[in-house]
Amino acid sequence: MTQAEGPPKGAADIAAQSTALNRYRAVRQATEALTRALTPEDQQAQSMPDASPAKWHLAHTTWFFETFLLEPRLAGYKVFDPRFAYLFNSYYEALGPRQPRPQRGLLTRPSVDDVLAYRAHVDAAMARLLADGAEGFEALLDLGLAHEQQHQELILMDVLHLFSCSPLNPAYAPPRSAGPAAPPPALRFHRFEGGLVEIGHAGDGFAFDNEGPRHKVWLEPYALADRLVTNGEWLAFMEDGGYARPELWLAEGWARAREEDWRAPLYWREGEGGWSVMSLRGLRPLDPAQPVSHVSFYEADAYATWAGARLPTEAEWEHAVAGKPIAGAFLPSGRLEAAPAVGGEGLRQMFGDLWEWTRSAYGPYPGFRPAAGAVGEYNGKFMAGQFVLRGGACVTPGGHVRASYRNFFYPQQRWMFSGVRLARDAA
The CB-of-51 to a second copy minimum distance in angstroms stands at 11
Which span sits near Fe ion by CB under 5 A: 90-98, 169-177, 196-204, 253-261?
90-98
Among 90, 152, 358, 404, binds Fe ion (CB under 5 A): 90
Identity of the residue, 290 or 360, whose beta carbon is nearer to a second copy in the bound complex: 360
168 binds a second copy (CB under 8 A): yes
Range 316-375, binding a second copy (CB under 8 A)? 359-361, 363-364, 366-367
Identity of the residue, 127 or 165, whose beta carbon is nearer to a second copy in the bound complex: 165
Residue 110: name its binding partner from Fe ion, a second copy, none (Cβ under 5 to 8 Å by kind): a second copy
SS3 assignment for the chain:
CCCCCCCCCCCCCHHHCCCHHHHHHHHHHHHHHHHCCCCHHHHHCCCCCCCCCHHHHHHHHHHHHHHHHHHHHCCCCCCCCCCHHHHHCCCCHHHCCCCCHHHHHHCCCCCHHHHHHHHHHHHHHHHHHCCCCCCCCHHHHHHHHHHHHHHHHHHHHHHHHHHHCCCCCCCCCCCCCCCCCCCCCCCCEEEECCEEEEECCCCCCCCCHHHCCCEEEEECCEEEECCCCEHHHHHHHHHCCHHHCHHHCCHHHHHHHHHCCCCCCCCEEEECCEEEEEECCEEEECCCCCECCCCCHHHHHHHHHHCCCECCCHHHHHHHCCCCCCCCECHHHCCCCCCCCCCCCCCCCCCECCEEEEEEECCCCCCCCCCCCHHHHCCHHHCCCCEEEECCCCCCCCCCCCCCCCEEECCCCCCCCEECCCEEECC
Q: Are 230 and 340 in contact (CB under 8 A)?
A: yes
Binding mask 264-303 for a second copy (x = CB under 8 A): ---------------------------------xx--x--
Residue 173: name its binding partner from Fe ion, a second copy, none (Cβ under 5 to 8 Å by kind): none
19 binds a second copy (CB under 8 A): no
Binding mask 73-102 for a second copy (x = CB under 8 A): ----------x--xx---x-xx----x---
Residue 82: name its binding partner from a second copy, Fe ion, none (Cβ under 5 to 8 Å by kind): none
Which span sits near a second copy by CB under 8 A: 13-21, 166-174, 223-231, 389-397?
166-174
Which span sits near a second copy by CB under 8 A: 176-184, 338-346, 378-386, 389-397?
378-386
175 binds a second copy (CB under 8 A): no
Identity of the residue, 45 or 289, whose beta carbon is nearer to a second copy in the bound complex: 45
Residue 90: name its binding partner from a second copy, Fe ion, none (Cβ under 5 to 8 Å by kind): Fe ion
Given the rule CB under 8 A, which residues bind a second copy? 1-2, 39-45, 47, 55, 83, 86-87, 91, 93-94, 99, 103, 105-114, 162, 165-168, 170, 196, 215-220, 246-247, 249-254, 297-298, 301, 359-361, 363-364, 366-367, 377, 381-385, 387, 411, 425, 427
